[in-house]
Amino acid sequence: MHFRDTAESALEDSEERYRAVVAALEEGIVIHEADGTVVSCNASACRIFGLTEEEVLGRTWLDPRWCLVREGGAPFPLEEHPATVTLRTGEPRSQVVLGLDRPDGGRRWISINSRPLLRPGDTTPYAAVLSFSDITSRREAEEERGRIEERQDKLQQLISRSALEWRLTFDALGSPLLLLELDGRIIRLNEAARALAGVRFEDAVHQPLAALGAEPPWPAVQALAERVAANAESATAQAHERQGRTWDISVNPVAGPGGERWLVVVLLDITDVVKLQESLRRSETMSAMGALVAGVAHEVRNPLFGISATLDAFESRFKNRSEYRRYFDVLKERVHRLSILMQQLLDYGKPLRLEPSAESPEEVMRAAAAACAPIAAGARVEIVEEPVTDLPSLEMDRNRVVQVFQNLLENAIQHSPPGSRVTFRAEGAGERVRFAVEDSGTGFRAEDLDRIFEPFFTRRRGGTGLGLSIVQRIVEQHGGEVTAANRPAGGAVMSVLLPLRPGQVPSRPGF
Amino acid sequence: MSLRILVVDDEETILFAFREHFEPLGYEIDCAQELEEAEALLSHVRYGLLIADLRLTGSQSSEGLELIRYARERSPWTRIVVLTGSGSEAMKSEAMDRGVDAFLEKPRPLGELAALAANLLERTA
Amino acid sequence: MSSLGSTTGGGGGGGGRLWDLILAPEGLTTSFQPIFERKDGQLTVFALEALNRGPRGTNIERSDVLFEYVRRKRGEVAIDRLAIAASLREARGLPEVPGLSLNIHAATLEREPRLPAWLAEMAAEYEVPCKRIIVEIVEHAPPWSGRQFLESLDRLRTLGMRIALDDVGLGQSNFRMILDCRPDLLKIDRHFVSGAHADENRRAVLESIADLAVRLGAKAVAEGIEDERDLEVVLASGIGLLQGFLLCRPCSSKRLRKLDFMKRLWSEPLPEGYGDDLPDDPSATQEVPAPR
């Protein structure tokens, strides 16, 4: 008896300890009998299932109320249920992940280990013990991380592509563009900027602006950048390359995404615009002056005729008085000179209307030279024509253009020493023909070069100063250009560029 | 042919010079400075020749053209010479269209004008 | 005082050097030419026609050029006011003017509705009774539309003045005009008088107008009588009123006034050569280019 009591109580103690241990476990423990019925479960299992002990006991794992799903959400095939497998095969299963839907609507993920319970000597288990833990939060965290990583990947791709597009755009822009730090160090500069400065990317990036050189327009860019950095306000300026293009510089402060402050520098080539504006201003001045001049000429002509007519009358009445002769001569000559000046002024003031026709450059040159032949002979200066062969025919107002060349040749003759030569050239220049009149006189003073086309500008006594202004007007009316320069060998050269057709402005890239 | 000449110009010196030059040559000269004056004279006096400027009141006027029209209508026997200081191309062709005998620009030597007058009036100078 | 304000401007004119000369004092000079009436074998002064000439030494001194100038400048109203004022002023001191004939442009009567009233005031100012005033309508070339013109004529008649129509036989002085105006005097243009002694047709015209005048209850005046033979023809045609160089040239009021037989003037013919003090107005004899 005593022995039996001890053994029973020992067993009872042992069961009691077992039960306490099982009950205290965080993991859920469920025991399925061979027919699948749940015969035992612990508190954690109930907690995880969201069910009471009564609801759990008596269910089999086939019970549809479990709502078992596998990863991905598809229903869990019951033949793969760890309990099923273990009970069938006697093999344990580990870390099988199941999702189950609780009656309160939540889905929990559990990781299940199953072990067979075997009686000694049996190969078929009489029960399976399932232990499982709730891995829902861990799973969610993993999913979240997966999503984050995916997003980051996408973002990375987007950024890479974006950067590429931006860089391509940046470089494709014809206008030089620079991105600077506030202190003027170069963050980026596009292809056009690199070309303008003549530097490679690696030599410029992170360098101060000074690294781009001391040639215009960079000093102006630097000065402007400093100003904008100090004032935090956009600003523009213009810079003129020596004998080259005119740039419009604009510097704008911008804020970067992280609050950094940068400067964006844009350069625009406004050379053509400036030229056009000057030409327009000239022609507006011309119109205003033309009207003024015509008015003056009329006002002056009448009293002038009054004087000359009275002189005529006086002379015819007193022509027999020889003592008056020289007074008549002086007065008449002066009046005549005034009349010529009035005529020139009136011509100058007339609006210019071209009558174009197709002409051969050689023929026009010959005509102008022939017209100057007497003056040339008188000054003992030789005119030599040197047109290249096969010059294209130009559409021009023949009379006006002959007038232009005649004027230039006369000027050249007047400035040439006796015995010297004036060379009259012509050659093709793309869509235009370039004519040049060269002399070996004293050339132009440097300070005069910008002004010689101004009306009334003359260093010659007795000249009206209108000749070159008229020349410029006629040439520009044809859509051409006239420039003056000194020859390196001494003397002056006047160049006239005429397009094939009047008014045809040649296209300029990059504008 | 009447040897009477009507000279029309707003510049008094010019009228004076004409009178001084032409009267010794045997012409009778009448001078007018206004359009209406010239027209009134043309209506009641027979002139062989009219010498007129186109502009009689400032640089924008064109009384001369009016006068030419009036003269052609009212005294078709009168020859017309336009002598102007500042006619535009348009005015010149307008004047020629209206039928003038000569269109000249100032200044011109009076001797030349006298020869022209003699020519137009068919008289040896 | 004058209800038309200043007589020295307004109503067209347009300014200019010559115009200013007209407006200046002594710009217009007035002379008078008598119109004689043949009565009982005697010539008596029927009326004095006031004639105005332009500023001396200018192109517009002669009246025909003057009025052409005025017409071109559309200054008829202004010139008439000046001329009437000058004429009335000059007529002061002329004893008992039997009739004073004042020239007025048709255009003025058309354009200036106040003219009749003004004229009455001026006449009162210069002490010429309205019944002695004859308004002679000149230059009735178009344009004139008539309504205001005819109203003014009525007004003048109501004031007691008489109406004379100038240039009868020429241009606009046609039958229609005669009927519209109902003038008291028809002034036959010199064109029909000069050379009438040698021209049957001219004589026919003279007789016809004389007859018409009688039938209309008006009187006919022959203008421009320079030849005695023409005078005879005129008288034979039954025309009772005579005007022309042959009888008396226009003369100044000074001259008229000086003579001490002034009172008798109106019942005796004026001595020959009377009125020679003024230079001829060439417009009185020159062949006028045919009007359009």
pLDDT at A124: 84
For residue range B89-101, what is the model confidence (pLDDT) as tens digits? 788 888 888 889 9
What confidence category does residue A368 fall into, taking pLDDT thresholds of 50, 70 and 90? very high
> C8 CB near a chain B CB, below 8 Å?
no
Greater pLDDT, B21 or C270: B21
For residue range A164-198, what is the model confidence (pLDDT) as tens digits? 888 888 888 888 999 998 888 998 888 888 888 88
Q: Is A415 exposed, middle or buried (0-12, 13-18, 19+ CB in 10 A)?
A: buried
Who contacts C195 (Cβ-Cβ below 8 Å, separation ≥6)? C202, C227, C230
What confidence category does residue C144 fall into, taking pLDDT thresholds of 50, 70 and 90? low
d(Cα C163, Cα C157) in Å, to the nearest integer? 8
Q: What architecture is domain C41-183+248-279?
A: Alpha-Beta Barrel (3.20)
What are the chain C neighbours of B35 within 8 Å (beta carbons)?
Answer: 72
Q: In the predicted model, what is the mean pLDDT of residues A316-325?
A: 86
What are the chain B neighbours of A312 within 8 Å (beta carbons)?
Answer: 17, 21, 109-111
Domains of chain B, residue spans = 4-120
Contact B110 A312 (CB under 8 A): yes
**Would you say residue B27 has pLDDT above 70?**
yes
Of C59, C62, C286, Cβ closest to residue B32: C59
**Phi and psi torsions of A120, nearest 5°:** -60, 130
For residue range A51-105, what is the model confidence (pLDDT) as tens digits? 888 888 877 777 777 778 888 778 888 788 888 888 888 888 898 888 888 877 7
> C284 CB near a chain B CB, below 8 Å?
no
pLDDT averaged over every residue in chain A: 84
What's the pTM?
0.58
pLDDT at A505: 46
Fill in the amino acid letter for A313.
A
Half-sphere exposure of A430 (CA within 13 A, CB side): 7
pLDDT at B4: 94
CA distance C18 to chain B (A): 8
**Would you say residue A10 has pLDDT above 60?**
yes
pLDDT at C223: 93
Task: State the first-to-last Cα distance of chain B, in angstroms, to the nearest integer.
Answer: 14
* Angle at alpha carbon of residue C146, lines to C141 and C148, rounded to 5°: 125
Look at A76-85, A455-464, A484-493, B47-56 and tell me which has the smallest mean pLDDT. A455-464
pLDDT at C217: 94
Tell me the longest C-alpha to C-alpha distance in chain C. Answer: 52
Q: Is C10 exposed, middle or buried (0-12, 13-18, 19+ CB in 10 A)?
A: middle
Tell me the longest C-alpha to C-alpha distance in chain B. Answer: 38
Contact B20 A307 (CB under 8 A): no
pLDDT at C255: 76
pLDDT averaged over every residue in chain C: 82
Who contacts A509 (Cβ-Cβ below 8 Å, separation ≥6)? none
Question: Does the domain formed by A2-134 have CATH 3.30.450.20?
Answer: yes
**Phi and psi torsions of C43, nearest 5°:** -105, 125
Give yes or no for a contact between A441 and A417, defined as CB atoms under 8 angstroms apart.
Answer: yes
d(Cα C196, Cα C189) in Å, to the nearest integer? 12
pLDDT at A435: 95
- CATH class held by domain A174-268: alpha beta
> B12 CB near a chain C CB, below 8 Å?
no
pLDDT at C42: 72
Domains of chain C, residue spans = 41-183+248-279
**Phi and psi torsions of A299, nearest 5°:** -60, -40
Do C and A have ≥3 inter-chain CB pairs under 8 A? no
Cis before residue A374, ω within 30 degrees of 0?
A: no
Contact C17 B34 (CB under 8 A): yes
Greater pLDDT, B55 or A152: A152
CA distance A403 to chain B (A): 20
| CA quadruple C238, C240, C241, C242: dihedral sign | positive
pLDDT at C275: 57
Q: In the predicted model, what is the mean pLDDT of residues C51-69?
A: 91
What are the chain A neighbours of B7 within 8 Å (beta carbons)?
Answer: none
For residue range C6-23, what is the model confidence (pLDDT) as tens digits? 444 444 455 678 999 998
Instruction: Give which of C10, C107, C91 is closest to C51, Cα–Cα.
Output: C91
What confidence category does residue B46 fall into, taking pLDDT thresholds of 50, 70 and 90? very high
pLDDT at C199: 92
Q: In the predicted model, what is the mean pLDDT of residues A98-113?
A: 84
pLDDT at C286: 46
pLDDT at C260: 40
Of C14, C60, C292, Cβ closest to residue B40: C60
Domains of chain A, residue spans = 2-134, 139-172, 174-268, 274-349, 357-499
Q: In the predicted model, what is the mean pLDDT of residues A284-307?
A: 78
pLDDT at C290: 41
Q: Taking the mean position of all CA atoms in its chain, how far away is CA A470?
A: 40
**Phi and psi torsions of A176, nearest 5°:** -60, 135
Q: In the predicted model, what is the mean pLDDT of residues A286-302?
A: 74
Give yes or no for a contact between A187 and A207, defined as CB atoms under 8 angstroms apart.
Answer: no
Look at A279-293, C76-90, C120-134, C151-165 and tell me which has the smallest mean pLDDT. A279-293
d(Cα C173, Cα C191) in Å, to the nearest integer? 13
For residue range A41-52, what is the model confidence (pLDDT) as tens digits? 888 888 888 888
Q: What is the ipTM of this complex?
A: 0.86
Written as six digits, the tokens of A64 are 């549809």
Contact A301 B85 (CB under 8 A): yes
The β-bridge relationship of strands A492-499 and A432-438 is: antiparallel
Contact B10 A302 (CB under 8 A): yes
What homologous superfamily is domain B4-120 in, according to CATH?
Response regulator (3.40.50.2300)
Greater pLDDT, A337 or C157: C157
What confidence category does residue A33 fall into, taking pLDDT thresholds of 50, 70 and 90? confident
The helix or strand, by DSSP H or E, that contains position A390, with its residue range, turns out to be none
pLDDT at A70: 83
Interface of A with B in 292-311 (CB under 8 A): 294-295, 297-299, 301-310
In this structure, which topology does domain A357-499 adopt according to CATH?
Answer: Heat Shock Protein 90 (3.30.565)
Look at A242-246, B25-29, B77-81, B113-117 and tell me which has the smallest mean pLDDT. A242-246
Written as six digits, the tokens of A97 are 């992940």
Written as six digits, the tokens of A291 are 């009207």
Give yes or no for a contact between A430 and A421, defined as CB atoms under 8 angstroms apart.
Answer: no
Give me the percent of chain B exceeding a pLDDT of 90: 56
Angle, nearest 10°, between helix axes A467-477 and A271-317? 130
* Token pair 């020349």 in the structure block, residue: A471
Greater pLDDT, C96 or C36: C36
d(Cα B61, Cα B39) in Å, to the nearest integer? 16
Dihedral Cα A46, A51, A53, A57, nearest 10 deg: -100
The length of chain C in residues reads: 292
Fill in the amino acid letter for B108.
R
What are the chain B neighbours of C68 within 8 Å (beta carbons)?
Answer: 39-40, 43-44
Candidates C17, C66, C72: best to mutate against B (most CBs of B within 10 A) is: C72
**Would you say residue C254 has pLDDT above 70?**
yes
Q: Where are the alpha helices (DSSP H) in A232-360?
A: 271-317, 325-349
pLDDT at C279: 63
Question: A114-122 contacts: CB < 8 A, separation 24 or more?
Answer: A114/A82, A114/A83, A114/A85, A114/A86, A115/A86, A116/A86, A116/A87, A116/A90, A116/A91, A116/A92, A117/A31, A118/A90
- State whether residue A244 is helix, strand or coil: coil
Who contacts C193 (Cβ-Cβ below 8 Å, separation ≥6)? C202, C206, C222, C223, C224, C225, C230, C234, C244
> A344 CB near a chain B CB, below 8 Å?
no
The length of chain B in residues reads: 125
**Would you say residue B52 has pLDDT above 80?**
yes
Contact B20 A313 (CB under 8 A): yes
Give me the percent of chain C exceeding a pLDDT of 90: 47
pLDDT at A63: 78
What confidence category does residue B20 fall into, taking pLDDT thresholds of 50, 70 and 90? very high
Q: In the predicted model, what is the mean pLDDT of residues B106-118?
A: 90
